[in-house]
Amino acid sequence: MDGVDDTSAVLQAAGLHQPPVEEAPSLLCVIIDTHAEGWHKLEGWSFKETMASVMVLLNAHMALSNANDVAVLGFNGMGPRMVYPQKEDAPLSDVKLEGTMYRQFHKMDKTVLAALATQLQETTVNKHCSISAPLTLALCYTQRIMRQRPGTRGRILLVSVTGDVPSKYISTMNSIFAAQKAHIPIDVCKLGGEKTNLQQAADFTGGAYIDIAHPRGLVQYFMSTFLIDPATRQMLNQATQPEVDFRAVCFLTKEVVEIGHVCSVCLCIMKDEPDGSCPICHTVFESTQLPSFT
């Protein structure tokens, strides 16, 4: 239509074209790491207190707008589980509601806390769940909500205390790319565990990454960083991550490499130049001389 006529210009001049400023409903998916060992290893953190802060975040998100929604997932060695909302037909957990606060907050808090506490009790020795599992579930659920209520914006907050499972690297990256494609930012709140590709997840999807060393003021972190709507974040100056590690890991030696050799067929990364054929896909390389990429 542009340039065909100047109707809109006329209307603009008459002050009749006002772009509506509206807040889109948003869905906040919180993924909580409930690996008992992970929490055990953390110094000075208590699961209960951390969850209290998370609950404040959830309540605050709901408080921002009536149309906002939340979902909570927990994951540990038993796999990922949806904690809230529960399945439609699942019997409502019989929680005693006192008339002291917003009832929907109350119901949500009780359900979430009870379910997460149960998960924390599960003993899953030497079993680890990769973050790709809850991420995949959260993305499926977010997609469903976005289908059902068009216009909803989704985002994911990951509270992590353990490191990732290296064998799930590809799945993790797949879910990160899917989130990026659907414009779902992944915020990462790291309380413990070694540095993993979570940093990349936040970086790629435009989410925030914060490594919190001390439990004091956790609520403030949630309030001032993770609560803010992605649309609003674009208006704000946000702390950027000074350095993001994009180095690759050698498929054979599992060492971090800066300069590696890549098979053109299966894209496996090797620290040292293989002789003759690819050790992964057994493709025979034609020449020993290394051609350049272009």
Which residues in 254-273 contact another protein (CB under 8 A)? 257-267, 269-270, 273
- Closest CA relative to residue 35, chosen from 133, 108, 107: 133
Among 80, 154, 185, 206, binds another protein (CB under 8 A): 80
Alpha helices per DSSP H over 43-184: 47-64, 103-121, 132-148, 169-181
C-alpha distances (whole Å) from 176 to each of 74, 98, 106, 179, 183 are 18, 41, 32, 5, 10
If the CB atoms of residues 175 and 192 are measured against another protein, the closer one turns out to be 175
Beta carbons of 26 and 185 less than 8 angstroms apart = no
Query: Of these, 93, 245, 253, 255, which contacts another protein (CB under 8 A)?
Result: 245
Say whether residue 287 binds another protein (CB under 8 A): yes
Which of 3, 19, 89, 125 binds another protein (CB under 8 A)? It is 89
Hey, how many other C-beta atoms are within 10 angstroms of the C-beta on 73? 23
Using CB under 8 A as the binding rule, whether residue 236 contacts another protein is answered as: yes
Beta partners for residue 190, in sequence order: 160, 211
Residue 169 makes CB contacts below 8 A (sequence gap 6+) with 197, 249
Q: How far is the CB of 76 from another protein (least distance, A)?
A: 8
Is position 252 an interface residue for another protein (rule: CB under 8 A)? no
Q: Which CB atom, from 43 or from 147, has the smaller least distance to another protein?
A: 147
Interatomic CA distance for residues 153 and 164, integer angstroms: 27
> Does the footprint of another protein cover residue 224 (CB under 8 A)?
yes
Residue from 137, 161, 189, 208 in contact with another protein (CB under 8 A): 137
Beta bridge partners of 271: none
Site for another protein in 18-47 (CB under 8 A): 21-23, 25
Q: From the CB of 212, what's the least distance to another protein, in Å? A: 15
Q: How many residues does the chain have?
A: 294
Nearer residue to another protein within complex by CB, 94 or 243: 243
Build a one-symbol-per-residue string for 166-205: x at contacts with another protein by CB under 8 A, - elsewhere: -xxxxx-xxx-xx--xx-----------------x---x-
Residue appearing with tokens 């009870």: 114
Residues 96-125, one symbol each (x = binds another protein by CB under 8 A, - = not), give -x-xxxxxxxx--x--------------x-
Nearest CA to 34 among 217, 191, 196? 191
